[in-house]
Structure 1
Amino acid sequence: MDLFCSFLSSEHLINIKQRAASTSSGAAEASPLRLNIAAAASTAVAIGSAAWYYHLYGPVAQAATPAEEGLHPAKYPWVHEQMFKTFDHQALRRGFQVYREVCAACHSLNRIPFRTLVGSVLTVDEAKALAEENEYDAEPNDQGIIEKRPGKLSDYLPDPYPNEEASRFANAGALPPDLSLIVKARHGGCNYIFSLLTGYPEEAPAGAQVGAGLNFNPYFPGTGIAMARVLFDGLVEYEDGTPASTSQMAKDVVEFLNWAAEPEMDDRKKMGMKVLVVTSALFALSVWVKRYKWAWLKSRKIVYDPPKGSSGGH
């Protein structure tokens, strides 16, 4: 009887183990399936998200007509865009003069402090004198009244208008953009700004439709721009005696605006040259060290010397 009971209990244990084994094998088979489903779902979500993002922001906006796109500017040989060239500081000085006498009446340059002009465009004394020509709000006095003070080098170039509403009112509803980053903010950069300034014809060509209060310029998208032609031959008298032709003034002010967008360019190029020299020296040194360190391994010779046979033989 005891033997029979033990036999039944052993059979019961075997059945339990078999069921457990089948359950574990089923779970093992189902686990990769769930992983595959999760991976496929994640991939589908990622691809769908990328496709939706491209649908919203990926396609390039194309103009419906060539007039809406504007005439593409020619590419001019700007010297400061070359790798080993810097800004022409005489041109920067002339360009700042054009900005002050022509552009500053409508356009601001409110990201440039007077101190940035020192060394690149003006001397320290010239920058201080220019800053003191303007008045800025001082700290409130004991009575809480904000008084005016002369400008200093840490102040930023003043805006021509106190607010946006005054700017629009003075320009027939148009808002003149700030010129601090205008070269970087426009497709074509220096080429576009130069072409725009020099691209005003004497009169609009036949068939061109120009809205009321607008001026024809083929380089401006839509060909109708609120800004009239502002540069004319001899408009500015350069202090260095350079002839102030329209193209010369446009070239100088564009180079100045390019400097305003990245005044650190000269220093960045100088630092880049130093980095290239140092990294080249370090690379050459590392090659020499590598060859010196591994020369023993790469130049060694392994000679196999078979053992001499014993006199007794095998």
Structure 2
Amino acid sequence: MVRAIAGLVGAAFVFVLALALFGTVRDRITTPPVESAAEYVEARNPLLQANLKSDGLTGTFDRRQVQRGFQVFKEVCSACHSIRLVAFRDLTQIGYTPAEVKAIASQWQIEQPSSNPDTGEAATRKNVPSDHFPLVFANDVAAKAANGGAVPPDLSDMVKARHGGASYVYRLVGHGYVKQSPELLKEFPDIATPTGLYYNRFYANLNIHMPPPLKSDGQVQYSDGTKPSVDQMAKDISAFLTWTAEPNLEARHAAGFAALLFILGFCVLAWGAYQNVWRDVKH
């Protein structure tokens, strides 16, 4: 009796699932989903790839490129965006000397919040290598007031937070700001960019508060002689933000390969032990 009841319950459960699946398939066939403006644009624009040296299972950082990316961040992005999870002393990992890091910290345009030791009133002090990069705005209210109601996101983990990672950043800042096509506006008249926003073909809803950060070639003058085209600067800032999001990438890759070699060696030893134990046993 119990088995019969259980079978009926199971059959009813399967029937409900099949009915739901049939309804979903029927709706997809009879009323296919309407293509959104973002899907329309994505289908007609190639998803450009940054192709950084850090990509893939064996990726490593090109430290010269990461340094160039830091220069782009310092001269372009740091006016609005912070990297609060990164300390100045971490820059030694990308090739800066301790003396250079000390100079960068002390000359950074935003100082650390502090207090007057005599009065206790709010004050500031120069950064030191052990400090994290200071916040650009004291709070979200100040950020919104300075940026037309939008809060510029912290960029420390931006590469990890966005689908596409470094290539997303590369596409967004280097190749996203273009003029809306007449075909797009004809197909989606409501997508016209409102005043105060900027059209970006690689942004989720196509209209973004951030003005084009990389406006023209030569905006940043690289000290290593690399030609500072918009495309190059976009790749370099993508490389830098890849490092801020995962500074231990190289160590993780090395540890992964060491673990694979250990497992491979263990398997060989286990196979050898098996052969030795059972060598005199007749099948």
Whether the TM-score (by the shorter chain) exceeds 0.5 is: yes
Q: CA deviation at 1:200?
A: 4.2
Q: Give distance in 2, aligned partners of 1:255 and 1:282.
A: 37
- Cα deviation 1:67-94 (Å, max 9, x = unaligned): 2455262344333112223111111000
The answer to whether residue 186 in structure 2 is matched with residue 216 in structure 1 is: no
Q: Is the 8 A contact 2:86 2:132 kept in 1?
A: yes
Measure, in 1, the Cα distance between the counterparts of 2:199 and 2:150: 15
* 1:238 pairs with 2:222: yes
**Structure 2 partner of 1:172:** 148
* 1:125-204 to 2 correspondences below 5 Å: 125-134=99-108, 135-138=111-114, 141=117, 144=120, 148-201=124-177, 203-204=179-180
Query: Structure 1 residue 205 and structure 2 residue 181: aligned?
Result: yes
Q: How many residues align?
A: 253
Matched, 1:225 2:225: no
5+ residue gaps, structure 1:
1-31, 52-62, 300-314
User: In 1, distance between residues paired with 2:76 and 2:116?
Assistant: 34
Counterparts of residues 83-94 of structure 1 (less than 5 Å): 83-94=57-68
Pick the structure with greater CA Rg.
1
The reply on whether 1:67 has 2:41 as its aligned counterpart is no
TM-score computed with the length of structure 1 as normaliser: 0.70
Whole-Å separation in 1 of the counterparts to 2:122 and 2:142? 22
Cα distance, 1:145 vs. partner?
A: 5.3
Change (3 A) 1:150 1:204: same
What is the rounded CA distance, in whole Å, between the counterparts of 1:75 and 1:119 in structure 2? 25
- Partner of 1:125, secondary structure, is helix
CA deviation profile, 1:204-259 (whole Å, cap 9, x unmatched): 33363111111111111222111111212000010100000000000000011111
Cα displacement (A) at 1:192: 1.6
Q: For residues 88-119 of structure 1, give each alpha carbon's deviation from its aligned partner in whole angstroms, at most 9, with x where no partner exists.
A: 11110000000000000011111111222212
CA distance in 2 between partners of 1:100 and 1:186 (Å): 22
Deviation at 1:139, TM superposition (A): 7.5
Amino acid at match of 1:259: W
Native 8 Å contact 1:137 1:148 kept in 2: yes
Structure 2 unaligned residues grouped into runs of 5+: 21-32, 186-191
Asked if 1:117 corresponds to 2:91, the answer is yes
- Corresponding residue of 1:77: 51
For residues 274 and 292 of structure 1, the distance between their equivalents in structure 2, rounded to whole angstroms, comes to 27
Equivalent residue letter for 1:230: P
The percentage of counterpart residues that share the same residue type is 34
Post-superposition shift, 1:268? Answer: 0.6
Aligned amino acid, residue 227 of structure 2 = P
Residues 215 and 139 of structure 1, relative CA distance in 2, 3 Å threshold: closer
Counterpart contact for 2:177–2:198, Cα < 8 Å: no
> Counterpart of 2:30?
none
How far is the alpha carbon of 1:144 from its aligned partner? Answer: 4.8
Counterpart residue type for residue 252 of structure 1 = D
User: Any conservation in 2 of the 1:181–1:260 contact (CA below 8 Å)?
Assistant: yes
Alpha-carbon separation, structure 1, partners of 2:178 and 2:278: 75
Residue among 68, 73, 90 paired with 1:99 = 73
